[in-house]
Amino acid sequence: MLGVGNVATADDTDSLANERLPVNRLHMEAQWGVDCDLAVDRARVGSASPSAVPRHLVRTLTLCGFIYNTPGAQTYRMCPDYGHWLDWLDGRRDPPEPCT
């Protein structure tokens, strides 16, 4: 038998499954081993040509997009637009303008 009397109700499991831990952006960057500001700086240096940008930045920019460009997330911000940088690397867009 598995823990008779210790069964979570549907309401309990819903609240547990949807709870977000309070973390800041630096914790998330450290957890995933990325530096989002540095990634944008490196992409910007190579913005004359996508081939000049190190390909490992694709993973970094993708993770940074999850951290910062997910609407409703605690760490949401519109700029830099990491998806725009990824589109540029794939040749679908011009490089994004710097954030102001």
pLDDT of residue 17: 58
pTM exceeds 0.85: no
Q: At 25, which amino acid appears?
A: R
pLDDT of residue 35: 94
Q: Any long-range contacts for 64-67 (C-beta under 8 Å, 24+ apart)?
A: 64/29, 64/34, 64/36, 64/39, 64/40, 67/25, 67/28, 67/29, 67/32, 67/36
pLDDT of residue 47: 65
Pick from 64, 22, 72, 19: nearest CA to 42 = 64
pLDDT of residue 72: 76
Domain residue spans of the chain: 22-89
Q: What are 70's two structure tokens?
A: 């997910």
Are 59 and 66 spatial neighbours (Cβ–Cβ below 8 Å)? no
pLDDT of residue 21: 54
Mean pLDDT in consecutive groups of 10 residues from the start of the chain, 100 residues: 54 56 77 91 76 82 89 79 89 85
